Amino acid sequence: MVLSEAGRIKGDSNMGKRSALPKHIHTLDSVLKMTRPSAIITYIILIFVAFLSTGDLPSTGILSATLIAVLSAAAGGFLLNDYYDLYIDKINRPDRPLPAGKITPAAVWVFSLFFYAVSIWAASSLPLVTFIFISGNLFLLFLYATTLKKVGFIGNIAVAYLTASVFILTTSVVGDIAAGAVPAALIFLYMGALEVLKDMEDVKGDFKFGVRTLPLTHKDLGKYVALAFMALTIALSPIPYYLEIFSINYLILILIVDVLLALLMRSLWRDSSLSSVIFYVRRIKASIVLSMAAFILGVL
Protein backbone atom coordinates (compact mmCIF):
# COMPACT_ATOMS: atom_id res chain seq x y z
CA MET A 1 0.00 0.00 0.00
CA VAL A 2 2.83 2.38 0.86
CA LEU A 3 4.62 1.58 -2.38
CA SER A 4 1.39 2.05 -4.30
CA GLU A 5 0.77 5.43 -2.68
CA ALA A 6 4.36 6.50 -3.31
CA GLY A 7 4.04 5.45 -6.91
CA ARG A 8 0.83 7.45 -7.24
CA ILE A 9 2.49 10.56 -5.75
CA LYS A 10 5.46 10.18 -8.06
CA GLY A 11 3.13 9.75 -10.99
CA ASP A 12 1.20 12.89 -10.03
CA SER A 13 4.50 14.77 -9.77
CA ASN A 14 5.54 13.68 -13.24
CA MET A 15 2.13 14.67 -14.60
CA GLY A 16 2.58 18.08 -13.01
CA LYS A 17 5.93 18.51 -14.72
CA ARG A 18 4.45 17.45 -18.04
CA SER A 19 1.54 19.86 -17.68
CA ALA A 20 3.90 22.68 -16.73
CA LEU A 21 6.04 22.23 -19.83
CA PRO A 22 3.46 23.46 -22.36
CA LYS A 23 2.94 26.60 -20.24
CA HIS A 24 6.65 27.46 -20.45
CA ILE A 25 6.69 26.73 -24.16
CA HIS A 26 3.60 28.91 -24.54
CA THR A 27 5.36 31.76 -22.72
CA LEU A 28 8.44 31.49 -24.93
CA ASP A 29 6.24 31.40 -28.03
CA SER A 30 4.54 34.59 -26.84
CA VAL A 31 7.89 36.27 -26.22
CA LEU A 32 9.03 35.30 -29.72
CA LYS A 33 5.91 36.83 -31.27
CA MET A 34 6.27 39.99 -29.17
CA THR A 35 9.83 40.54 -30.45
CA ARG A 36 8.34 41.15 -33.93
CA PRO A 37 10.28 38.56 -36.01
CA SER A 38 9.63 40.49 -39.22
CA ALA A 39 11.22 43.62 -37.71
CA ILE A 40 14.14 41.57 -36.36
CA ILE A 41 14.75 40.17 -39.86
CA THR A 42 14.69 43.74 -41.21
CA TYR A 43 17.33 44.80 -38.67
CA ILE A 44 19.53 41.85 -39.63
CA ILE A 45 19.32 42.89 -43.27
CA LEU A 46 20.12 46.50 -42.39
CA ILE A 47 23.18 45.46 -40.40
CA PHE A 48 24.61 43.35 -43.21
CA VAL A 49 23.83 45.98 -45.85
CA ALA A 50 25.36 48.72 -43.69
CA PHE A 51 28.58 46.76 -43.24
CA LEU A 52 28.77 45.89 -46.96
CA SER A 53 28.18 49.53 -47.91
CA THR A 54 31.44 50.39 -46.15
CA GLY A 55 33.37 47.84 -48.22
CA ASP A 56 33.22 44.44 -46.49
CA LEU A 57 32.01 42.53 -43.46
CA PRO A 58 34.04 42.85 -40.22
CA SER A 59 35.45 39.93 -38.26
CA THR A 60 33.08 37.24 -37.02
CA GLY A 61 33.44 38.49 -33.44
CA ILE A 62 32.54 42.09 -34.28
CA LEU A 63 29.68 41.02 -36.55
CA SER A 64 28.25 38.73 -33.87
CA ALA A 65 28.52 41.38 -31.14
CA THR A 66 26.78 43.95 -33.37
CA LEU A 67 23.95 41.58 -34.21
CA ILE A 68 23.44 40.55 -30.57
CA ALA A 69 23.57 44.13 -29.28
CA VAL A 70 21.15 45.55 -31.85
CA LEU A 71 18.70 42.66 -31.95
CA SER A 72 18.56 42.31 -28.17
CA ALA A 73 17.93 46.03 -27.80
CA ALA A 74 15.11 45.81 -30.33
CA ALA A 75 13.58 42.77 -28.64
CA GLY A 76 13.74 44.41 -25.21
CA GLY A 77 12.19 47.57 -26.60
CA PHE A 78 9.32 45.71 -28.26
CA LEU A 79 8.52 43.83 -25.05
CA LEU A 80 8.71 47.00 -22.98
CA ASN A 81 6.43 48.77 -25.43
CA ASP A 82 3.83 46.00 -25.20
CA TYR A 83 4.05 46.06 -21.40
CA TYR A 84 3.12 49.75 -21.24
CA ASP A 85 0.64 49.42 -24.13
CA LEU A 86 -1.46 46.71 -22.46
CA TYR A 87 -4.66 48.71 -22.04
CA ILE A 88 -4.43 50.43 -25.42
CA ASP A 89 -3.74 47.10 -27.14
CA LYS A 90 -6.87 45.63 -25.54
CA ILE A 91 -8.70 47.94 -27.96
CA ASN A 92 -6.31 48.35 -30.92
CA ARG A 93 -4.52 44.95 -30.86
CA PRO A 94 -6.51 42.50 -28.69
CA ASP A 95 -4.95 39.53 -30.51
CA ARG A 96 -1.43 40.30 -29.25
CA PRO A 97 -0.11 37.83 -26.63
CA LEU A 98 -0.26 40.18 -23.62
CA PRO A 99 -3.81 41.58 -24.01
CA ALA A 100 -4.94 38.09 -25.04
CA GLY A 101 -3.70 36.72 -21.69
CA LYS A 102 -1.16 34.33 -23.22
CA ILE A 103 1.66 35.78 -21.09
CA THR A 104 1.72 37.71 -17.81
CA PRO A 105 2.89 41.34 -17.52
CA ALA A 106 5.53 40.21 -14.98
CA ALA A 107 7.01 37.75 -17.49
CA VAL A 108 7.11 40.45 -20.18
CA TRP A 109 8.97 42.79 -17.81
CA VAL A 110 11.53 40.13 -16.85
CA PHE A 111 12.26 39.18 -20.45
CA SER A 112 12.59 42.85 -21.39
CA LEU A 113 15.22 43.38 -18.68
CA PHE A 114 17.01 40.24 -19.84
CA PHE A 115 17.26 41.50 -23.42
CA TYR A 116 18.43 44.92 -22.19
CA ALA A 117 21.23 43.27 -20.17
CA VAL A 118 22.31 41.12 -23.14
CA SER A 119 22.40 44.18 -25.40
CA ILE A 120 24.62 46.14 -23.01
CA TRP A 121 26.90 43.13 -22.52
CA ALA A 122 27.37 42.67 -26.29
CA ALA A 123 27.79 46.41 -26.94
CA SER A 124 30.57 46.62 -24.34
CA SER A 125 32.89 44.76 -26.74
CA LEU A 126 32.27 47.25 -29.57
CA PRO A 127 33.92 50.67 -30.15
CA LEU A 128 32.99 53.36 -27.64
CA VAL A 129 30.94 55.42 -30.12
CA THR A 130 28.85 52.34 -30.95
CA PHE A 131 28.37 51.55 -27.26
CA ILE A 132 27.16 55.12 -26.71
CA PHE A 133 24.74 54.82 -29.64
CA ILE A 134 23.27 51.57 -28.33
CA SER A 135 23.09 52.79 -24.73
CA GLY A 136 21.30 55.93 -25.91
CA ASN A 137 18.89 53.84 -27.95
CA LEU A 138 18.09 51.65 -24.96
CA PHE A 139 17.25 54.74 -22.93
CA LEU A 140 15.18 56.17 -25.79
CA LEU A 141 13.27 52.88 -26.10
CA PHE A 142 12.36 53.10 -22.42
CA LEU A 143 11.44 56.78 -22.74
CA TYR A 144 9.27 56.04 -25.76
CA ALA A 145 7.41 53.21 -24.04
CA THR A 146 6.74 55.21 -20.89
CA THR A 147 6.30 58.79 -22.16
CA LEU A 148 6.98 59.74 -25.78
CA LYS A 149 4.29 57.61 -27.41
CA LYS A 150 1.69 59.65 -25.53
CA VAL A 151 3.01 62.86 -27.04
CA GLY A 152 2.16 61.75 -30.57
CA PHE A 153 4.42 63.10 -33.29
CA ILE A 154 7.51 63.14 -31.07
CA GLY A 155 6.93 59.44 -30.53
CA ASN A 156 6.72 58.93 -34.30
CA ILE A 157 10.06 60.71 -34.72
CA ALA A 158 11.61 58.56 -31.98
CA VAL A 159 10.53 55.31 -33.65
CA ALA A 160 11.73 56.49 -37.06
CA TYR A 161 15.10 57.47 -35.58
CA LEU A 162 15.51 54.18 -33.71
CA THR A 163 15.05 52.17 -36.89
CA ALA A 164 17.26 54.46 -38.98
CA SER A 165 19.98 54.50 -36.31
CA VAL A 166 20.66 50.81 -36.94
CA PHE A 167 22.39 51.83 -40.17
CA ILE A 168 24.44 54.58 -38.53
CA LEU A 169 25.54 52.63 -35.45
CA THR A 170 26.51 49.67 -37.65
CA THR A 171 28.76 51.82 -39.84
CA SER A 172 30.17 53.40 -36.66
CA VAL A 173 31.59 49.98 -35.75
CA VAL A 174 34.07 50.33 -38.63
CA GLY A 175 34.52 54.08 -38.17
CA ASP A 176 32.56 55.20 -41.24
CA ILE A 177 29.39 56.87 -39.96
CA ALA A 178 29.19 59.07 -43.08
CA ALA A 179 28.52 56.01 -45.26
CA GLY A 180 25.39 55.30 -43.25
CA ALA A 181 23.98 58.83 -43.07
CA VAL A 182 22.02 59.03 -46.35
CA PRO A 183 20.55 55.49 -46.26
CA ALA A 184 19.62 56.15 -42.61
CA ALA A 185 17.81 59.33 -43.68
CA LEU A 186 15.77 57.34 -46.20
CA ILE A 187 14.87 54.73 -43.59
CA PHE A 188 13.88 57.54 -41.23
CA LEU A 189 11.48 58.99 -43.82
CA TYR A 190 9.94 55.63 -44.65
CA MET A 191 9.35 54.89 -40.97
CA GLY A 192 8.04 58.38 -40.31
CA ALA A 193 5.36 57.91 -42.96
CA LEU A 194 4.51 54.43 -41.65
CA GLU A 195 4.20 55.60 -38.03
CA VAL A 196 1.87 58.46 -38.92
CA LEU A 197 -0.31 56.16 -41.03
CA LYS A 198 -0.45 53.68 -38.14
CA ASP A 199 -1.62 56.53 -35.88
CA MET A 200 -4.40 57.20 -38.38
CA GLU A 201 -5.28 53.52 -38.17
CA ASP A 202 -5.30 53.46 -34.34
CA VAL A 203 -7.36 56.56 -33.63
CA LYS A 204 -10.05 54.70 -31.67
CA GLY A 205 -7.79 53.33 -28.93
CA ASP A 206 -5.53 56.40 -28.89
CA PHE A 207 -8.51 58.71 -28.35
CA LYS A 208 -9.84 56.66 -25.45
CA PHE A 209 -6.51 56.76 -23.61
CA GLY A 210 -5.65 60.37 -24.39
CA VAL A 211 -2.71 59.78 -26.73
CA ARG A 212 -2.16 63.04 -28.64
CA THR A 213 -1.34 61.78 -32.12
CA LEU A 214 -1.39 63.98 -35.22
CA PRO A 215 -4.69 62.54 -36.56
CA LEU A 216 -6.34 63.41 -33.24
CA THR A 217 -4.78 66.88 -33.05
CA HIS A 218 -6.17 67.91 -36.42
CA LYS A 219 -8.40 65.95 -38.77
CA ASP A 220 -6.11 66.08 -41.83
CA LEU A 221 -2.75 66.83 -40.22
CA GLY A 222 -1.67 63.19 -40.13
CA LYS A 223 -2.42 62.83 -43.83
CA TYR A 224 -0.37 65.90 -44.77
CA VAL A 225 2.62 64.84 -42.66
CA ALA A 226 2.57 61.30 -44.09
CA LEU A 227 2.46 62.78 -47.60
CA ALA A 228 5.42 65.04 -46.77
CA PHE A 229 7.47 62.08 -45.51
CA MET A 230 6.75 60.12 -48.69
CA ALA A 231 7.53 63.06 -50.96
CA LEU A 232 10.89 63.59 -49.28
CA THR A 233 11.62 59.87 -49.56
CA ILE A 234 11.07 59.98 -53.31
CA ALA A 235 13.19 63.13 -53.66
CA LEU A 236 16.16 61.72 -51.73
CA SER A 237 16.04 58.13 -52.95
CA PRO A 238 18.51 58.47 -55.88
CA ILE A 239 21.20 60.13 -53.74
CA PRO A 240 22.88 56.91 -52.45
CA TYR A 241 23.52 55.93 -56.07
CA TYR A 242 25.05 59.30 -57.02
CA LEU A 243 27.23 59.19 -53.89
CA GLU A 244 28.35 55.70 -55.01
CA ILE A 245 27.11 54.12 -51.78
CA PHE A 246 24.89 51.74 -53.79
CA SER A 247 25.19 50.45 -57.36
CA ILE A 248 22.95 50.90 -60.40
CA ASN A 249 20.97 47.85 -59.25
CA TYR A 250 19.73 49.91 -56.31
CA LEU A 251 18.70 52.81 -58.53
CA ILE A 252 16.62 50.64 -60.86
CA LEU A 253 14.58 49.03 -58.08
CA ILE A 254 14.27 52.15 -55.93
CA LEU A 255 12.76 54.06 -58.87
CA ILE A 256 10.07 51.36 -59.06
CA VAL A 257 9.47 51.83 -55.33
CA ASP A 258 9.20 55.58 -55.93
CA VAL A 259 6.44 54.99 -58.47
CA LEU A 260 4.56 52.84 -55.94
CA LEU A 261 4.96 55.53 -53.30
CA ALA A 262 3.70 58.19 -55.71
CA LEU A 263 0.59 56.09 -56.39
CA LEU A 264 0.10 55.64 -52.66
CA MET A 265 0.37 59.40 -52.17
CA ARG A 266 -2.34 59.97 -54.77
CA SER A 267 -4.64 57.46 -53.08
CA LEU A 268 -4.04 58.96 -49.64
CA TRP A 269 -4.71 62.47 -50.93
CA ARG A 270 -8.06 61.39 -52.36
CA ASP A 271 -9.21 59.12 -49.54
CA SER A 272 -7.96 59.08 -45.94
CA SER A 273 -10.85 57.10 -44.41
CA LEU A 274 -10.03 54.49 -41.78
CA SER A 275 -10.80 51.53 -44.06
CA SER A 276 -8.45 52.93 -46.71
CA VAL A 277 -5.69 53.79 -44.25
CA ILE A 278 -5.58 50.14 -43.10
CA PHE A 279 -4.84 49.24 -46.72
CA TYR A 280 -2.26 52.04 -47.05
CA VAL A 281 -0.33 50.73 -44.05
CA ARG A 282 0.07 47.38 -45.80
CA ARG A 283 1.14 49.11 -49.00
CA ILE A 284 3.84 51.21 -47.36
CA LYS A 285 5.11 48.15 -45.50
CA ALA A 286 5.43 46.45 -48.90
CA SER A 287 7.32 49.50 -50.18
CA ILE A 288 9.72 49.27 -47.24
CA VAL A 289 10.35 45.60 -48.02
CA LEU A 290 11.11 46.50 -51.64
CA SER A 291 13.43 49.29 -50.53
CA MET A 292 15.30 46.78 -48.37
CA ALA A 293 15.65 44.60 -51.48
CA ALA A 294 17.04 47.64 -53.33
CA PHE A 295 19.58 48.16 -50.54
CA ILE A 296 20.65 44.52 -50.82
CA LEU A 297 20.99 44.68 -54.61
CA GLY A 298 22.90 47.92 -54.22
CA VAL A 299 25.74 46.28 -52.28
CA LEU A 300 25.98 43.08 -54.33
Share of the chain above pLDDT 90, in %: 50
**pLDDT at 8 exceeding the cut of 60:** no
Residue 61 lies in a domain: yes
User: Which pLDDT score, from 0 to 100, does residue 29 have?
Assistant: 78
Q: Are 103 and 97 in contact (CB under 8 A)?
A: yes
Least Cα distance to 34 among 107, 101, 94, 98 occurs for 98
DSSP state of 271: -
User: Which pLDDT score, from 0 to 100, does residue 105 have?
Assistant: 86
Domain range spanning residue 183? 15-299
> Chain centroid to CA 88: how far?
18
Q: pTM (2 decimals)? A: 0.81
Please tell me the least confidently modeled range out of 86-95, 191-200, 285-294: 86-95
Residue 4 lies in a domain: no
Least Cα distance to 84 among 132, 147, 133, 138 occurs for 147
Residue 9 lies in a domain: no
Tell me the C-alpha distance between 165 and 144, whole Å. 15
Residue 270 lies in a domain: yes
**pLDDT at 230 exceeding the cut of 70:** yes
Tell me the C-alpha distance between 52 and 298, whole Å. 10
CATH number, domain containing residue 122? 1.10.600
Residue 10 lies in a domain: no
| pLDDT tens, position by position, 12-71 | 444 444 444 456 677 787 888 888 888 899 899 999 999 988 887 889 999 999 999 999
Residue 82 lies in a domain: yes
Residue 182 lies in a domain: yes
Report the mean per-residue pLDDT for the chain.
84
Q: Are 100 and 136 in contact (CB under 8 A)?
A: no
| pLDDT tens, position by position, 84-137 | 877 777 776 777 888 777 888 888 899 999 999 999 999 999 999 999 999 999
Q: Are 131 and 138 in contact (CB under 8 A)?
A: no
Count of domains for the chain: 1
Please tell me the least confidently modeled range out of 9-23, 83-97, 226-240, 252-266: 9-23
Residue 225 lies in a domain: yes
